Amino acid sequence: MKKINETDLLIEEYDSQFSYQKKSNLNISFNRIAFIFFVFVILSIIFSTKALFLGSLEKKIKKNVLESEFRSSIVDKSGNLISKSIITNNVGIDPKLVIDKDKLLLNLKLIFPNKKKTEFKKIKKNLNGKKFFYIQKKINQDQLDELIYLGDKSIRVEQKISRIYPHENLFSHVVGQIDDDNNGISGIEKSFDVELKKNNLPLKLTVDTVLQFLIRQELKKYEEVFQSLGSAAILMDINSGDIISLVSLPDFNLNKREKISDINFINRATKGVYEFGSVFKTFTLAAAFDEKIIEPQTEFVDLPKSLTCAGFPIREYDDKIPSNLTAEQILVRSGNIGSVRIGQKVGEEKFKLFLSKIGVLDEINFDIEEVGKPIKFNWGKCPLATASFGHGITTTLLQLTKAYAIIANGGYEINPTIIAKTRNLNDKKKILNDEVSKKILPILRKVVTTKEGTASLANVDGYEIGGKTGTAQKSISGSYSKKKINTFVSIFPISDPKFVLAVMLDEPKTNKDYIYHYRDGSNIKYKGTPFNTAGWTTVEVTGQIIENIGPILATKY
């Protein structure tokens, strides 16, 4: 048997004790650390999951909120953008979190070099306050990046849905506005509020952006020439009722979203209700043709220079008008007394029915809500006489445009529209007899082409323009004033009518320095406005408009 010495025993015992002690300590420490690490991991997973969930929920809620504020785009007939919803960034500052106000203000001046001193004074004042305030709404990306690079925790960026209007004023009365809660409050934005919020596809209009621009440009130009209070123009397809352009001045920048309370910003094309004067004489003669009472060459002899009705005189506007005239000549020369005689032949009930059929007496149903209601007309013998030459009876420019389209398109009913839609034009309802257009159109052409006519300034070579002028005293507080509404409704080309253009000037004035150029190729010039009548104001505007838009209409329509 091997002998074990004392030294070996001691070492073995020592090793045994060391191993046991060491092993035991290691096991206890490892288990404790593993447990703590396990708990930490579990808690981290719980908090991370919750954070991710809340973050995704916040993003989802934010996304849903933004999506709910989106409105469909509005485009013109060619698909050109008129209105669109986009995501924009608004940047503000929480003054309570600002560390160095002077440094921040200096950085803001570098980032926003175009801001005025007054704006920075306001920012400095707000920095000394306690409430959050905006420093820039709809900020561009470059400026936003510079602000973010500052790393200032007081700067807060908020996303918002904004409605932008690329053409600013151009379609203000057509498109209308929305409020801060994303609800339409006027124009197409209001009338089609639900559709614009629900649909993803753009809402397509019948208007043409290029023609709208050109017509507005001429109205703006002549607003200065004749110093008018306002003006309006409607260009419409005579057969479909599609409105190609609708302008009313003064207008406003839709992007500013200002509250418009000044009544002068009324939509004169659809909302304003006016007496339009002699343009109604066309209706009087058309009614007689529709009833087959007279012919264009029917003679009216010994017409007096004035009549008295209920104690009030009815006079010719021009003493040079002959006493013997045909029905055609009465319209060409815009005779008041002759128009009264034609109206009396038609009779009160039939004339009233005719005006109702062509849509000038009652409120029109249109795509935007801003439409005027013609003042109720109390019929009788004297009212029949005055209505025959357009005195005392009111309507809107939109309804006037519609009525002329019906008279010129063969007598078919149309409903003016500004919303592009598919329609079967073969299903149109005929409301006037065939002879009305055939007889009226050549006469309207003579109003423009003959020396006796009142619209020779609109005789633009190559476009076969016909039409009728109207000069009416403006009624203010129940009394007639010297202020006027001057109107010209034109049809072209007369041989194959396609378009009706109605132009109205509200309270125009004469211009002694303006030089008129006759457009019939004669090169005749005339300086100064001799009379404040439609023939010298609105007709001139119309001639210039057609001269500018004619080539586009010839190629596109």
Domain boundary assignment for the chain: 74-204, 211-556
Secondary structure class of 537 (helix, strand, coil): coil
Nearest alpha carbon to residue 248 among 125, 391, 372, 130: 372
User: Which CA distances in Å does 365 have to 205, 285, 414, 425?
Assistant: 17, 26, 12, 19
Sequence-ordered list of residues with C-beta below 8 angstroms from that of 537, at least 6 positions apart, any chain: 222, 226, 486, 505, 508, 529
Q: For residue range 356-410, list pLDDT tens digits in order.
A: 999 999 999 999 999 999 999 999 999 999 999 999 999 999 999 999 999 999 9
User: Which CA distances in Å does 420 have to 208, 247, 399, 415, 497?
Assistant: 11, 18, 19, 13, 21
- Tell me the residue type at 427: D
Distance separating alpha carbons of residues 292 and 229, to the nearest angstrom? 41
Fold of 74-204: Penicillin-binding protein 2a (Domain 2) (3.90.1310)
Exposed, middle or buried by CB within 10 Å (0-12, 13-18, 19+), for 307? middle
pTM above the 0.85 mark? no
Angle, alpha carbons 361-367-371 (nearest 5°) = 40
In angstroms and rounded to an integer, the radius of gyration of the C-alpha atoms of the chain is 38
Nearest alpha carbon to residue 284 among 414, 470, 481: 470
Fold of 211-556: Beta-lactamase (3.40.710)
Dmax (CA) for the chain in angstroms is: 168
pLDDT in tens, the chain (557 residues): 444 444 444 434 444 444 444 444 445 455 666 666 665 666 566 555 544 544 443 344 344 445 667 899 999 999 999 999 988 888 999 999 999 999 999 999 999 999 999 999 999 999 999 999 999 988 888 999 999 889 899 999 988 888 899 999 999 999 999 987 888 999 999 999 999 998 889 999 999 999 999 999 999 999 999 999 999 999 999 999 999 999 999 999 998 877 777 889 999 999 999 999 999 999 999 999 999 999 999 999 999 999 998 888 899 988 889 999 999 999 999 999 999 999 999 999 999 999 999 999 999 999 999 999 999 999 999 999 999 999 999 999 999 999 999 999 999 999 999 999 877 777 889 999 989 999 999 999 999 999 999 999 999 999 999 999 999 999 887 788 999 999 999 999 999 999 999 999 999 999 999 999 888 778 888 999 999 999 999 999 999 999 999 999 999 88
User: Which CA distances in Å does 520 have to 458, 465, 541?
Assistant: 8, 11, 15
Nearest alpha carbon to residue 526 among 511, 538, 505, 546: 511
